[in-house]
């Protein structure tokens, strides 16, 4: 409920109106008229609002907050007319089952009122002078200015004023506000983007806090997109942040992607990954994708004009089958791995916008935090890929047409005697579980091409991430009899 009042606010009466049986916490904000502003003494204030517009905007703000925090009831009353020092100018109350939601809802109302409510105030000074102040404009400019906030970034020759203007005109979408999306969104929100949209249908969970750095323990159970947007606005009040507490689906993916400068895939499942990839490809929007397994991660930028696509990397797989082989949402993960990959995603997205000279979007990068190594693997298009060169189709499933890249134990046994290659990493020796395997440095793609050209080949490594990535690379080059196995399958 939102009201404008031309009489003193009865805070006790408003608290009573918010009381209800399901409420376990009430958070109240009271704004008082103070005796100074920007170094000048003030004797009293006059508030004037565009009545109809202010009421509509105020009701919209309350409705949005109550939708973001289910079970929370919010009331706000804003004074109009003449007020003396010490009088209440605004009263906000948020009643919720738990204190965390009440605190967050109250804070969100405060911030949105400052930005959106069409209210002017006239300051009266002791010398008889008066001055009108636009409250919404003052809220946007008094605390910081874009020039100051981004000064050190603008000083970079690769950015400059023109680059900062390009960032201000950009619209980015981050899908998934988890371990990857939190650091990515944080650095994007502070970069000066014109519009940043967060989409995630999940809730904050206690088991995720060790790596999802935008959230606190008090926010467990709150929608991740909403909580993240509130935190990002606190970091950069100048940023325009939108939050959609929804998962990506075949019904909404085109709408989410349309008109974006770039999209970040920070999801934890292949179904969403394929949907985003195909929608971005159809719309000509660059996609910055990352995936993590334990201490290792993979970063790929699918930009128009670059070779290869997600279907080249994972030919003949149904996304549901891929999700069944490894659940990123519940599997073990080293928190700094997702942190580093998320920051790298933000960096790649900013380079796309800035058209940074020398930026390389033609390689997939494999990161290993155990030995602090990064392997760049050049992507190539699979000549027989059903998607490359054809209009992309948005779908969540596909019909397999050739053997899986990742072998199950049964499939491995069914192959019979087959050559194997163990991918060596820094300081590593041959794996005892793969007798007869040839040891090949993970970065020696030339040797792997030679082995694959001679017949069926199974690649293996400690985690399975690099072996799968390199097997997909070789398949994309037309070598269909290359497979991968993880250590746990031996």
Domain interval for residue 66: 2-141
Q: Does the residue 58 lie in any domain?
A: yes
| Domain edge (last residue) among 141, 166, 188 | 141
For the question of residue 328 being annotated catalytic, the response is yes
Determine how β-strand 119-124 pairs with β-strand 36-37.
unpaired
My answer on whether 195 and 335 are in the same domain is yes
Q: Do 132 and 73 form a contact (C-beta atoms < 8 A)?
A: no
My answer on whether 220 and 71 are in the same domain is no
Q: Does the residue 236 lie in any domain?
A: yes
As a whole number of angstroms, the distance between CA 271 and CA 217 comes to 29
My answer on whether 358 and 433 are in the same domain is no
- Calculate Rg over the CA atoms of the chain: 27
Torsion of CA 473, 268, 64, 75, to 10 degrees: -150
| Alpha carbon of residue 174 to chain centroid | 4
For 232-358, where are the E strands, in sequence order? 241-244, 262-265, 287-293, 296-302
Q: Does the residue 210 lie in any domain?
A: yes
Q: Do 47 and 89 form a contact (C-beta atoms < 8 A)?
A: yes
| Domain edge (last residue) among 97, 121, 141 | 141
My answer on whether 135 and 154 are in the same domain is no
My answer on whether 373 and 294 are in the same domain is yes
Residue matched to tokens 């704004």: 31
My answer on whether 110 and 248 are in the same domain is no
DSSP string across 115-168: HH--EEEEEE-TTS-EEEEEHHHHHHHSS--HHHHTHHHHTSTTTHHHHHHHHH
pTM exceeds 0.75 for this model: no
For every one of its 490 residues, what pLDDT tens digit does the chain have, with 9 covering 90 and above? 999 999 999 999 999 999 888 888 999 999 999 999 888 899 999 999 888 999 999 999 999 899 888 889 999 999 999 999 999 999 999 999 888 889 989 988 998 898 888 888 999 999 999 988 876 656 554 456 778 889 999 999 999 999 999 999 999 999 999 999 999 999 999 999 999 999 999 999 999 999 999 998 888 888 899 889 988 988 888 888 999 999 999 989 998 999 999 999 999 888 899 999 999 998 999 999 999 988 999 999 999 888 888 888 776 556 555 554 454 555 678 999 999 999 999 999 999 999 999 888 989 999 999 888 898 888 888 777 777 755 445 544 443 334 567 777 677 777 777 788 888 765 666 554 466 788 887 777 778 888 887 778 888 887 677 787 788 777 766 677 888 875 544 3
My answer on whether 86 and 175 are in the same domain is no
My answer on whether 364 and 467 are in the same domain is no
Q: Does the residue 383 lie in any domain?
A: no
Token readout for 44 is 């009293």
My answer on whether 430 and 474 are in the same domain is yes
> What single-letter DSSP state applies at residue 101?
H
Q: Does the residue 442 lie in any domain?
A: yes
Q: Does the residue 400 lie in any domain?
A: no
Token readout for 5 is 């009042």
**What is the domain-level CATH number for residue 223?**
3.40.50.720
As a whole number of angstroms, the distance between CA 200 and CA 101 comes to 18
3-state DSSP assignment of residue 273? helix
Determine how β-strand 119-124 pairs with β-strand 130-134.
antiparallel
| Domain edge (last residue) among 81, 115, 141 | 141
Q: Does the residue 397 lie in any domain?
A: no
Range 398-431 burial, b when 16+ CB lie within 10 A, else e: beeeebbbbbeeeebeeeeeeebbbbbbeebeeb
Looking at the 3D structure of the chain, how many domains does it have? Answer: 3
My answer on whether 51 and 108 are in the same domain is yes
For 401, the enclosing helix (H) or strand (E) is none
For 373, the enclosing helix (H) or strand (E) is strand 373-378
My answer on whether 207 and 327 are in the same domain is yes
My answer on whether 61 and 100 are in the same domain is yes
Annotated active-site residue in 76, 328, 385, 461: 328
């Amino acid at each position: 409920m939102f009201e404008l009042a031309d009489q003193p606010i009865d805070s006790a009466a408003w608290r009573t109106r918010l009381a209800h049986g399901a409420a376990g916490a009430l958070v109240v904000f009271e704004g008082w008229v103070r005796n100074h502003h920007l170094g000048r003494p003030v004797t009293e204030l006059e508030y004037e609002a565009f009545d109809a517009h202010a009421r509509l905007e105020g009701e919209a703000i309350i409705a949005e907050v109550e939708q973001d925090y289910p079970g929370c009831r919010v009331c706000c009353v804003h004074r109009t007319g003449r007020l003396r020092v010490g009088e209440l100018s605004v009263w906000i109350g948020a009643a919720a089952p738990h204190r965390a939601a009440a605190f967050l809802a109250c804070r969100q109302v405060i911030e949105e009122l400052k930005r959106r409510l069409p209210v002017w105030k006239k300051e009266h000074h002791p010398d008889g002078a008066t001055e009108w102040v636009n409250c919404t404009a003052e809220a946007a400019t008094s605390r910081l200015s874009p020039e100051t906030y981004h000064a050190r970034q603008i000083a970079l020759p690769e950015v400059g004023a023109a680059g900062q203007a390009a960032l201000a005109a950009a619209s980015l979408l981050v899908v998934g506000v988890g371990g990857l999306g939190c650091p990515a969104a944080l650095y994007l929100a502070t970069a000066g983007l014109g519009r940043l949209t967060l989409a995630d249908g999940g809730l904050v969970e206690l088991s995720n806090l060790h790596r999802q750095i935008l959230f606190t323990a008090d926010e467990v159970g709150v929608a991740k997109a909403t909580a993240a947007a509130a935190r990002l606005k606190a970091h950069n009040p100048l940023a325009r942040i939108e939050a959609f507490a929804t998962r990506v689906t075949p019904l909404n993916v085109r709408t989410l992607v349309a008109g974006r400068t770039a999209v970040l895939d920070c999801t934890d499942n292949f179904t969403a990954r394929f949907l985003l990839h195909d929608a971005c490809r159809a719309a000509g929007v660059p996609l910055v994708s990352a995936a993590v397994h334990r201490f290792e991660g993979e970063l790929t930028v699918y930009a128009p004009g670059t070779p290869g696509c997600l279907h080249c990397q994972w030919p003949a797989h149904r996304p549901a089958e891929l999700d069944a082989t490894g659940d990123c949402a519940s599997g073990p993960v080293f928190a700094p791995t997702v942190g580093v990959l998320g920051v790298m995603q933000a960096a790649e997205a900013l380079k796309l916008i800035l058209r940074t000279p020398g930026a390389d979007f033609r390689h997939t990068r494999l990161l290993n935090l155990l030995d602090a190594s990064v392997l760049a693997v050049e992507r190539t298009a699979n000549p027989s890929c059903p998607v490359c060169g054809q209009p992309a189709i948005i779908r969540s499933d596909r019909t397999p047409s050739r053997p899986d890249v990742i072998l199950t134990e049964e499939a491995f046994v069914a192959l019979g005697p087959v050559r194997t290659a163990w991918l060596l990493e820094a300081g590593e020796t041959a794996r005892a579980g793969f007798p007869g395997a040839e040891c090949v440095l993970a970065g020696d793609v030339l040797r792997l091409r030679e082995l694959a050209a001679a017949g069926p080949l199974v690649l293996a490594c400690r985690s399975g991430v690099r072996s799968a990535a390199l097997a997909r690379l070789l398949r994309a080059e037309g070598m269909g009899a290359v497979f991968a196995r993880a250590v746990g399958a031996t």
